């Protein structure tokens, strides 16, 4: 039933019970079901997702089963495991004795650290953990409150009956010299920063292209980009005009659509994130340490006027909120520099309808999309500099209110579903 509910393009179910396999085959003829053992898989193909639902508790050798799953995983496979919280063992046993629950054979009662250790031994890396089902009895209104709201409260969620782990195969580094990079530079009224953006951006990997997306500037930014392109014939530089589009998010999406590189990088044209730092992002991605690399301005001391006090407070608030929302660590959600593989961006774009076109900045669109795909998110600390030309395009209070609304929207779409 679970496999059918997921509507996969190709779905294969494996069960040790021949009788259950026959029932599943007759019920869902469009899916494939095999009589087999998770500790000795006969499959040779690779799958995008592998799900072990209520299985690990009954395995004889969990590490061997995880090693078998490793054989059917490619670098972007996500392994999803749910299992019972060992705190509930006495409650479930009491339920069996009282006739409230069907008797089950003895099982492995594992702590979360046990699961993570076994996965690490089998060549997997944990991305995030989740929790579900605080009240496993159906009581109108009360069940929804416990299982949708309270189960997401820190500390309380550790008491949930069901625990979840999402993992990926341990990464294999990709040689930097085999990767091409596209640097997208949204620019509106940034004429004085254009030449510096070109001169200071390193040439990375096997090829680097710069794509300026000009947002209807009034200070001659577009003309300056054209001048700099003509003055640098040895650089691969493109000028795109944003046209009727509005906001940095639209500019980034236009730039990504035109990009040809294996890696997509965002560099703000104000150059408050030094372009010289971009190779750090490239190496973090190529090494496999992360699949979505986010800059963090809140680690090193800043220059005095780089960020106002209220902006610092706002960033720290959204850091806490997003760490809770996405179950992955975030220190600085609003740093403009973000780097990911183009094929992962294409997957984010394909699933954009889940959240909708809600983000004029582009930051949350990418963050939410990466989290929904369970990409491994890593932050690279950078030194945040003062502007040397122009003024910020952000209104602290108007845009802060918009960010709050987007966070509340994400809460409903990600946490309280």
Q: In the chain, what are the domains?
A: 7-11+15-36 (no CATH), 40-169 (3.40.50.150), 176-415 (3.90.550.10)
Tally the C-alpha atoms within 13 A of residue 239's C-alpha that lie toward its C-beta. Answer: 16
Closest among 234, 235, 231, 194 to 214, alpha carbons compared: 194
Torsion over CA: 57, 59, 64, 66 (sign): negative
242: its two tokens: 């944003």
Whether 87 contacts 133, CB under 8 Å: no
Distance CA(159)–CA(151), nearest Å, equals: 8
- What per-residue confidence (pLDDT) applies to 298? 72
- Pairing state of beta strands 124-132 and 162-169? antiparallel
HEC string for the chain: CHHHHCCCCCCEEEECCHHHHHHHHHHCCCCEEEECECCECCCCCCEEEEEEECCHHHCCCHHHHHHHHHHCEEEEEEEEEEEECHHHHHHHHHHHHCCCCCCCCCCCCCCHHHHHHHHHHCCEEEEEEEEECCCCCCCCCHHHHHHHHHHHCCCHHHHCCEEEEEEEECCCCCCHHHCEEEEEEEECCCHHHHHHHHHHCCCCCCEEEEEEEECCCCCCHHHHHHHHHHHCCCCEEEEEECCCCCHHHHHHHHHHHHCCCCEEEECCCCCCCCHHHHHHHHHHHHCCCCCEEEEECCCCCCCCCCCCHHHHHHHHHHHHHHHHHHCCCCCCCCCCCEEEEHHHHHHHHHCHHHCCCCCCCCHHHHHHHHHHCCCCEEEEECCCCCCCCCCCCCCHHHHHHHHHHHHHHHHHHHHCC
State the first-to-last Cα distance of the chain, in angstroms, to the nearest integer.
20
337: its two tokens: 């520099």
- What per-residue confidence (pLDDT) applies to 285? 96
267: its two tokens: 């560099």
- What per-residue confidence (pLDDT) applies to 410? 72
pLDDT tens track of the chain, all 417 residues? 899 999 999 999 999 889 999 999 999 999 999 998 999 998 889 999 999 998 998 899 999 999 999 999 999 999 999 998 888 888 877 877 777 777 777 778 888 889 999 999 999 999 999 888 988 888 988 988 998 888 888 888 889 999 999 999 999 999 999 999 999 999 999 999 999 999 999 999 999 999 999 989 999 999 999 999 999 999 999 999 998 878 888 999 999 999 999 999 999 999 989 999 999 999 999 999 999 999 988 766 665 555 566 666 777 777 777 788 778 777 777 788 999 999 999 999 988 877 776 666 777 889 889 988 999 999 999 888 876 666 666 555 666 677 777 777 777 777 766
- What per-residue confidence (pLDDT) applies to 393? 60
- What per-residue confidence (pLDDT) applies to 389? 63
pTM value is 0.85
């Amino acid at each position: 039933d679970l496999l059918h509910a997921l509507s996969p393009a190709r779905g294969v179910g494996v069960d040790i019970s021949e009788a259950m396999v026959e029932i599943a085959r007759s019920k869902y003829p469009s899916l494939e079901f095999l009589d087999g053992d998770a500790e000795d898989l006969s499959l040779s193909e690779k799958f995008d997702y592998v799900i072990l639902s209520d299985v690990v508790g009954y395995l004889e050798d969990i590490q061997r089963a995880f090693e078998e799953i490793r054989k059917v995983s490619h670098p972007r496979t996500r392994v999803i495991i749910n299992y019972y919280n060992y705190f509930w063992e006495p409650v479930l046993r009491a339920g069996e004795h009282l006739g409230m629950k069907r008797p089950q054979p003895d099982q492995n009662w594992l702590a979360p650290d046990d699961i993570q250790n076994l996965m690490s031994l089998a060549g997997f890396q944990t991305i995030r953990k989740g929790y579900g089902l605080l009240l496993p009895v159906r009581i109108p209104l009360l069940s929804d409150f416990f299982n949708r709201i309270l189960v997401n409260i820190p500390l309380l969620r550790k008491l949930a009956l069901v625990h979840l782990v999402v993992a990926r195969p341990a990464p294999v580094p990709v040689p930097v010299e085999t990767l091409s990079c596209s640097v997208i530079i949204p620019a509106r009224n940034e004429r004085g920063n254009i030449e510096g953006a070109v001169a200071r951006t390193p040439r990375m990997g096997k090829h680097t292209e710069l794509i300026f997306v000009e947002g209807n500037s009034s200070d001659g930014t577009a003309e300056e980009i054209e001048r700099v392109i003509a003055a640098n014939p040895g650089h691969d530089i493109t000028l795109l005009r944003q046209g009727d589009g509005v906001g940095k998010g639209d500019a980034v999406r236009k730039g990504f659509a035109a990009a040809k590189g294996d890696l997509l990088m965002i560099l703000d044209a104000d150059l408050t994130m030094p372009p010289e730092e971009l190779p750090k992002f490239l190496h973090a991605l190529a090494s496999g340490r992360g699949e979505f690399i986010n800059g963090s301005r809140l680690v090193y001391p800043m220059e005095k006027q780089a960020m106002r006090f209220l902006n610092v407070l706002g960033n720290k608030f959204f850091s806490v909120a997003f760490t809770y929302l996405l179950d992955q660590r975030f220190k600085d959600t609003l740093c403009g520099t973000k780097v990911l593989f183009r094929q992962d961006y294409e997957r984010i774009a394909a699933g954009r309808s889940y959240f909708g076109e809600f983000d004029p900045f582009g930051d949350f669109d990418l963050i939410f999309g990466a989290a929904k795909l369970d990409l491994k998110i890593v932050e690279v600390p950078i030194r945040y500099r003062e502007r040397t030309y122009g003024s910020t395009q952000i209104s602290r209070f108007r845009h802060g209110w918009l960010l709050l609304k987007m966070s509340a929207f994400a809460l409903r779409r990600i946490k309280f579903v």
